[in-house]
Amino acid sequence: MGVLVAVLWPDFDQAHQIVTTSAAQSDPCLPDSFRSRLVFVHCSILGFCTGAAGQRELERGPELARIEELEGLRGLLAVWVVFVHLLPASGIEASNLGVLEPLFGELIRVQIFCVMSGFVIFMMMSRRREPYLPYISRRFLRIYPVYLFAFALSVAMSGIAYEALQSADFTGPKNAGRIAIYEASFAQWPEHVLSHLTLLHGIVPDQWLPFGAFAFLGQAWNISTEFQFYLIAPILFWILHDARPFMKVLFIAGIAAAWYVGMRWPNGAALSYFAIYFLTGIISYYLWNRSWSDQAYLNKWTITAAALAIGTVSIAIGIWIFIFGSALYVRDRAGKEDALSAALKLKPMLFLGKISYSLYLLHMIPLYGVMYGLNLLDLSQGIYVVFLGIGTFALAIPISMFATRYVEGAFYQSKRRPPAAVGTTSRLAWRRR
């Protein structure tokens, strides 16, 4: 909410009071320590957004077209997801990984995806002012063809996947959970197929359709969450940039009420559960559009300290702050690039970033196929996990390359058009102040 108030109220003291009050009255289920941290974070963000850093022009040209660290980060996150799914298939649970448990037992990688989505979508809308229908059509064509391709293959492979899980030599809670999801998927397959085809599987209440968000294609729950954000993002962008002040006030009240209700919605893939991460990405967009060249406090030490501090509340946001802050530091303060940023720009990481969406959706299909074959052999757990990993990546990467080029490319790339020039947008497009 901090960024909303920062945009609506240029007076910092008034904005500070509003955010402090709203944070203190936030979800009563949150512990006091978290609420106090939330106040601190929001006030810090307000300081950034309303300070005298100087607003950059929103349409910055080629500089906004691509940030290589983010492309490489997409690849890293996709590979991370594969490992998170691969280890339990070998009977290795996150609880057995000691200090690494949070990295493999949480939703960190998906949360970072949500932060990136908030950042990139707002950046895109600032450069391409267009009516709602062309926007949502392009977003739909961006995600739906590969999603439908992966879902169809997953339904076709569901029998083999179920047998692979049933005959697995190494069992655990995750595999048992996957078996339960498949059984629920088979029991109400028409309803599950319909909810997935309409992208409603992330909002249908669990009481109506058990395991509805995860049926047949478990990782597709996040696609519904993303699409929910796509639907409201232009409205949020318009409110922040073009609406009258009283509309902005009504919007903040409506968002607060919707979030309060949404946090109790009986489907964990609802947008409300990930709103804080999309909001972090939106805040990052506004920070990116400011010049920090004269801000001496933006340095590698303050970035690291902020990342560690926020990381105590959210590991995902802490990681994002480190990567995003480092990119700002290199861009505006001529700072030396850190090792992580440099690694994310390597060609293999950029390649994985290019196919990351397909890899995210399709990797479970070869994983279950390889798992089915390995179950016929008498292997130790160590050899089993190595062969499963090699086989999964060896098949998933070519399949993802094919899907990226011939499925996503066929339906999305041909529909892309250059951004409208500033001042030449249609009168039906969003106005720019």
Q: State the average pLDDT over residues 330-359.
A: 89
pLDDT at 185: 96
Q: Residue 55: beta bridge partners?
A: 290
pLDDT digits (tens, 9 = 90+) for 295-304: 888 888 999 9
Specify the pLDDT at position 282.
95
Least confident of 3-7, 75-79, 163-167, 325-329: 3-7
pLDDT value for 112: 95
Distances in Å between the Cα of 86 and the Cα atoms of 65, 378, 391, 405 are 34, 19, 11, 25
The contacts found for 177-184 with CB under 8 angstroms, 24 or more apart, are 178/218, 180/211, 181/211, 181/214, 181/215, 181/218, 182/158, 182/216, 184/210, 184/211, 184/215
Query: What is the overall mean pLDDT for the chain?
Result: 81
User: CA angle, corner 325, sides to 17 and 234, nearest 5?
Assistant: 65
Mean pLDDT of 262-282: 93
Average pLDDT of 61-67? 50
Instruction: For tokens 């077209």, name the residue.
Output: 65
Residue with the larger pLDDT of the pair 418 and 145: 145
pLDDT (mean) for 267-282: 94
pLDDT tens digits for 193-212?
Answer: 999 999 999 999 999 999 99
- Give the residue-averaged pLDDT of 256-269: 88
What are the tens digits of pLDDT across the range 348-361? 999 999 999 999 99
pLDDT bucket at 106, cuts 50 / 70 / 90 = low
